[in-house]
Amino acid sequence: MVDDNNRYLEYERDLNKNSPIPLYYQIAQHIRSQIESGELKPGDKILTEHQLQEKYGVSRATVRRAISDLVYEGILERRRAKGTVVSLPKLEETLNGLGSFTNDILKRKMTIESKILDFFIMPVSKTIAQYLQLGQNEKLAAMKRVRIVDGKPVGVENWYAPLKLFPGLNLSLFKEKGIEQSTYYMLQKEYGVQFSRSIDTISAVALEDEDAKLLKVDKGMPVMLRTRISYTSNNIPAIYVRGRYIIKLIINFETKQS
């Protein structure tokens, strides 16, 4: 390890290639553990794709997937002329006086739609289990959607909720137009759950190729990454959302509920 502002951080080559856990996920977890332990610090430059490929003895596609997942979560950042670095500390705030983003847009006489791209049931990942205080055998309802205001796509969201709180949750519950596209409104309506607060973590990231296509902008465009954990009135974490938003819109409504 070279101790300067542009130092490279190396990792142990201890992947379990006989494990059912994908290699890209193992690599991502190694890098994540280095960050959590403090060995990798904000601003540190990680090894290049080629160096990681040699270090772990895997394909370039595997390394790229691991890095992309961490960039997607806001843990790493790609910077021109510098490479991939550990993200700087993010702004975290507790929001009070929750409102509905969907309802607020409708009140402003603007149109809003939610194009649902995918909805499925999945086992909880280690990261989301920590956020939602779940056991490792829990199941999640997962949804990916594009938010569209006045005909223009402005955000891509990945939304997760535990089935133990919302049994039988399925795609038919959510609509793409009107107030029924609000996940909070529908969960309150169908399950009687009241939400009392949310914690947002906000940072700027560069758009990956898939999301750039969905938002109809150039790859690498700076957008706002917002992760949100919403709590019930009993202080139970019930929803986790990770969204990438065109910055102008998120600044206008950053304290509103999605």
- Which pLDDT score is estimated for 238? 95
Any domain includes 3: no
pTM for this model (two decimals):
0.61
How sure is the predictor about 117, in pLDDT bands with cuts at 50, 70 and 90? Answer: very high
The helix (H) or strand (E) run that includes residue 103 is helix 101-107
Alpha-carbon gap, residue 191 to 172, rounded angstroms? 14
Domain of residue 222, residue span:
91-252
Paired tokens of 189:
């309506």
Any domain includes 1: no
Indicate the residue type of 98: L
Q: How far is CA 188 from CA 65, 75, 193, 195, in A?
A: 37, 32, 5, 8
Tell me the per-residue pLDDT of 28-66, one tens digit each, with 9 for 90 and over: 888 988 888 888 888 888 998 999 999 899 999 999 989
- Which pLDDT score is estimated for 179? 83
CB 229 within 8 A of CB 162: no
Residue 208 and residue 157 share a domain: yes
For residue 174, the domain's CATH number is 3.40.1410.10
Share of the chain above pLDDT 70, in %: 82
Residue 136 and residue 66 share a domain: no
Residue at which a domain ends, from 54, 86, 118: 86
The total number of residues shown for the chain amounts to 258
Nearest Cα neighbor of 255 from 21, 34, 99 is: 99
DSSP single-letter state for residue 236: -
Residue 223 and residue 112 share a domain: yes
Total tally of structural domains belonging to the chain: 2
Regarding predicted confidence, which is higher, 171 or 72? 171
Give the 3-state secondary structure of residue 49.
helix
Residue 168 and residue 127 share a domain: yes
CB within 8 Å of 98: residues ≥ 6 apart: 184, 195, 196, 197, 198, 257
First and final C-alpha spacing in the chain: 43
Mean pLDDT, rounded, for 7-15: 51
